Each structure stands twice: as C-alpha cells, then as structure tokens.
Amino acid sequence: MSETPLPAAVGPQDGAAPPLLEIADVTMRFGGIVALDAVTFSVGKGRIVGLIGPNGAGKTTLFNCLSRLYQPAHGDIRLNGGSLRRCAASDIAGLGIGRTFQSPALFASMSVLDNVKVGAHARGRNGPLTDALTLPSSRREEREVDQAARAMLAFIGLEDAASRPAASLTLAARKRVELARALAARPLLLLLDEPAGGLNHQEVAALGVLIRSIRDQLGITVLLVEHHIGLVMSLSDQVVVLNFGRVIADGPPERIRRDPAVAEAYLGTRH
C-alpha cells in the first residue's frame, strides 16, 4: 500500500535505524516566553516516538515548527538529511510530513471522502490551472486521488461513511478521517497531536491498534504527542519528555518510566 518499505530493523532501541527527522538546537520564543529551548532529538526511520510533557511544555509549538507554521529563532530541522529552514508551510506535505491537529480540522459540510481527497491532492503533481483545463494527466490524477482516498478510508475502517458529511460523524470517527487525510498524502513522517484526546477507553485501544498498523503496514514513521501515558508507553520505541520547552529525558519507555526527573515534572501537573 505504501512506497516506503518498512526498514528491516524496527525493534526498539537497536540503534540501527537511520534518522528520518533530526531536531537540532531548536529555540522558539513568543515575546518573553521561551516555548522551546535548544530542543535536540532524532526520530529513526520506522520508529514510533512518543513526545510527552505537561501542558505548556512546548509540544504543539514543536509540531508547528516542524510544519513550518512557526519559524524557530535558532536551530535546524532536517528531514532525511535536508534542512527545512527554507521550506514554506505549503511545501511540507509534499516533502513527506503529515499531521493531525489537537482538534480535528475537517471541512464540516464536505463528505468524508472529499475531506480525505484534500490530503491525496497534497501529493498530486497538477496545480489548479491544469485541473481547470482538464488535461488527460489531470483526469488520471483525479482517478488516482480518488483511489488513494478510498484506500485510506478502508484502511481506517470508514469506507461505509465515504459519502456522509464529516460533521455527522462522532469525534472518534472524525479523528480517524483526519488521520486518513494525512495518510492519503503518503507521508514519510506522521505527526499526531493528542489523537486520543476526548476518546473513551475502547476508542483509545482501537486507536493504538491503528497507529501501530500505520507504522507496521504502511511503513510510516510516527511522532506522537499524547497525554494518555499508557498509550504512549505501549506504542513507542522511544519517548522524549519536554518540560518548560526543554528535553528532560529521551530514551526507551522502560527507562522513561523510572526517570526521577520525569516523575518530578509531572508532580502536581496531572491532566
């Protein structure tokens, strides 16, 4: 289903996965607030990496830097060795970074299928001008977009909802549609911002299975921001902990669980 083969070594912390994403010394300020302070860590190809930290730690800000919505004051972000410094936010999907948002950002009155097609178009070759001229290549692309979108709807288990308006779905289903839209652009790296937020226990369990299959079956590397620590610990090969914009721990989940600095960061800041 994906062009990206799963790397041979996906085992946790075998140290062999080459970095897909490198975040090097990234600093981001809002006026006097240092939201990210020299943040440095790498995400290996084919890994699921959890990014956790108390509210206000800088997780969403880091995602916004990765998506080029924010321009860090300092530092560099590299995807497959290439710097994103000169990329515009509009280039990001084409370069292979997909994302979902803390609150699902779907076009409410559009059908589920059309929402997912928006993602598939992000990877398309033809611009609006070719579309308007309906050149054969554009019609072929439209067919490919339709197929890609339907394949992703099937992958998330919502093909039966294709023609329903997005607004008519439950929150859990809307979150899955947002995922399908990101996947339809065939990303190398998927950024998930609190995908379990607002979901019940059963929906969280199903989401865990889906995230794992995104990595295992589609070969997509995942950076997961999530407050549901159980979900993060069960899925992640590596967990990075942010607190007040700083990386305070980075390692395999079993080490993060025992890290006293992590326990301290969470004390009194339960969510």
Binding site for ligand ADP (CB under 6 A): 30, 33, 35, 53, 55-61
Residue 60 is a binding residue for Mg ion (CB under 5 A):
yes
Q: Which partner, ligand ADP, Mg ion, none, binds residue 56 by CB below 5 to 8 Å per kind?
A: ligand ADP
Question: In angstroms, what is the minimal distance from the CB of 197 to ligand ADP?
Answer: 11
Whole-angstrom distance, CA of residue 152 vs CA of residue 218: 11
Residue 103 is a binding residue for Mg ion (CB under 5 A):
no
Q: How far apart are the first and last CA of the chain?
A: 37
Residue closer to ligand ADP by CB (options 57, 148) is: 57
Residue closer to ligand ADP by CB (options 56, 165) is: 56
What does each C-alpha distance from 208 to 8, 9, 224 come to in angstroms? 22, 21, 11
Q: Which partner, Mg ion, ligand ADP, none, binds residue 234 by CB below 5 to 8 Å per kind?
A: none
Question: In angstroms, what is the minimal distance from the CB of 198 to ligand ADP?
Answer: 15
Residues 25, 40 contacting (CB under 8 angstroms): yes
Choose one: 35-43, 58-66, 77-85, 212-220; the region binding Mg ion (CB under 5 A). 58-66
* DSSP per-residue string spanning 181-249: HHHHT--SEEEEESTTTT--HHHHHHHHHHHHHHHHHH--EEEEE-S-HHHHHHH-SEEEEEETTEEEE
Question: In angstroms, what is the minimal distance from the CB of 239 to Mg ion?
Answer: 16
- Cβ atoms within 10 A of the Cβ of 129, count? 9
Question: In angstroms, what is the minimal distance from the CB of 66 to Mg ion?
Answer: 13
Which residue sits closest to Mg ion, CB atoms considered?
60
